[in-house]
Amino acid sequence: MTRRKRIALELLGPPLLGAALVVLLQGGAALGEVVMKDGSWQSILPILSMVPIVVLFAYAMTMIQSILYTVVMEWRFARGLDPRSWNSVGLSSLLGFASGAAICMAYGFERSDLRFLWLFYAGIGLVVGILLGLLIKVLSPKEPTVTKNRP
């Protein structure tokens, strides 16, 4: 993966991965409820129509965090952090958790469901950070090893 592709992945990947997780979690729960309640597969269409809205909402809510994620990751890579290392996956996970925590703080502290919000959004942020870090680790090219020529 080139540096440009990695930057594109760092910018556009977190909201898309987060939206996919939300759709899987919330959509799966809603889908199970619909199927168990009336057994009609036609009532799934409204759930599927929400996918573009969730993706747009994810980009609107997390674009600033994605920009900050990209800046921090690229700064660390420029300072010697190997994209194929577990340290980069750890940093990505930490930044993902921080992004989820920022979303929780945006909702405010006086809500009654604050504990759920922290578990949900910070948990999704952590999972997105781990997945994105693993993607960067796997897709980054191996650095050629430098060997000294011995006389």
43: left (phi over 0), alpha (psi -120 to 50) or beta: alpha
Contacts of residue 124, Cβ cutoff 8 Å, sequence gap at least 6: 18, 21, 22, 25, 100
pLDDT of residue 25: 80
Distance CA 98, CA 62 (A): 11
**What pLDDT tens digit does each residue of the chain (151 aa) get?**
888 999 999 999 999 999 888 888 877 776 676 666 766 666 667 767 788 898 899 899 889 999 999 999 999 999 999 999 999 999 999 999 999 888 888 776 677 777 777 788 889 999 999 999 999 999 988 875 555 565 5
Q: Where are the domains of the chain?
A: 3-139
CA neighbor of 58 nearest in space, from 108, 7, 24 = 24
Contact 108, 83 (CB under 8 A): no
Q: Where are the alpha helices (DSSP H) in 39-149?
A: 45-49, 51-78, 86-107, 114-117, 123-139
Residue 44: the pLDDT is 67
Q: Are 61 and 16 in contact (CB under 8 A)?
A: no
Please tell me the number of Cα atoms within 13 Å of 18 on its side-chain side. 32
pLDDT number for residue 148: 57
Distance CA 144, CA 55 (A): 38
- Report pLDDT for 51: 82
pLDDT at 49: 79
